[in-house]
Amino acid sequence: MVLSRQEARFFVACLVDSTRDLGVDLPEGRTGRPVRYAAFDANAIIFVRHHRPLIRNPSSLQHDRKPHRNREHEDHRFKLSLYSVCSAWNFFGCHSGLAADSSQTLRVLCYNIHYGQGNDGVYDLERLARVIVAAKPDLVALQELDVMVERSGRVHQAQRLAELTGLAVRMGPTQHYQGGLFGNAVLTRMPIEDVQIHPLPYTPATESLTTYPRGAISVVVQCTNGRPLRFVSTHFQHNVPGDRVAEAEAINRLFGTDNVPTVLAGDMNSVPGSEPIEILGNRWNNAIDLAASPTAPAKKPTSRIDYIFYRGGGLKMVESRVVDESMASDHRPVLAVFKLAN
């Protein structure tokens, strides 16, 4: 989203009173330079970079550029440098998604979409959207989304999937990548009441070790029974076992100590019986039976690493399964159906 200077001042004026600075520094690519970001209500995520011009073209956001000081706007509380991860129409609530089903069931899908690239090497969001729509979900936890990233054609994948599925979207970026953003997201057909983004512990990358920043996006939605539900999408580290243990412990601290009905879904990069899954099992119920089909790699899956967990009152698991889809991504999606308490 590119705004004129006048539009940006109006945009900030509309939002500044409701700003909740999450106090999170977003690592910028492999350089590790931080970018502080804030969430405005439950409707948009705006990235804030200090000492940048008030208005910038998002396509010019390159991780190797040095901060530029703009003295004309030094009196501002902070300098807006990026763009809304959710588009303007999404922020102002113009995209409400499909009408909620009147039944008292909750359908949850978890899907690592491999930044839109299928096993045939083709970037095809329409194909992914067809898989999602066919599952008829109320909530979708997505991992590995690109937003304006060079490798995937600088497409706002979160916004595009929302358009294709008829669901509202909230994006939880974890890092800058190739001039854009990369991370997790949530799709929902239910009203959103709150959004929080949490960084998770991880080992920084070195010349000999490639790792990625990890995080979780949490939304509170209003279910069809009129009660709030917390929904979390996350993605654990792929190649450092100690990181996955620390991330599971962090998830328990963040979401596993209260009585709020919560569904946690994500690519945990951990097989059943491993330490991270055992740690989560201390606070959560596993909605996916341990004997269920593996989820990765999608063509000939051999490992179960994608999960849906739940805790708190008001949720009763009805069924769960791994969706038989082998081409749209390198993971197969996981579906769980819950009955909601009246």
The residue ranges of every structural domain in the chain are 5-90, 95-340
Mean pLDDT confidence for 200-229:
94
* 224 vs 206, more confident: 206
Provide the CATH number for the domain formed by 95-340 in this structure: 3.60.10.10
What residues have CB less than 8 Å from 220, skipping those under 6 apart?
42, 192, 193, 194, 195, 228, 229, 230, 231
Q: What is the pTM of this model?
A: 0.76
* 200 vs 97, more confident: 200
Beta-bridge mates of residue 151: none
* 71 vs 205, more confident: 205
| pLDDT for the residue numbered 27 | 59
| pLDDT for the residue numbered 322 | 94
* Residue 60 binned pLDDT confidence (cut-offs 50, 70, 90): very low
C-alpha closest to that of 49 among 29, 71, 26: 26
Q: How far apart are CA 290 and CA 84, in angstroms?
A: 39
| pLDDT for the residue numbered 224 | 86
| pLDDT for the residue numbered 103 | 61
Range in 87-91, 112-116, 178-182, 275-279 with the lowest mean pLDDT: 87-91
| pLDDT for the residue numbered 26 | 60
Q: How far apart are CA 167 and CA 155, in angstroms?
A: 18
* 79 vs 319, more confident: 319
* Residue 34 binned pLDDT confidence (cut-offs 50, 70, 90): very low
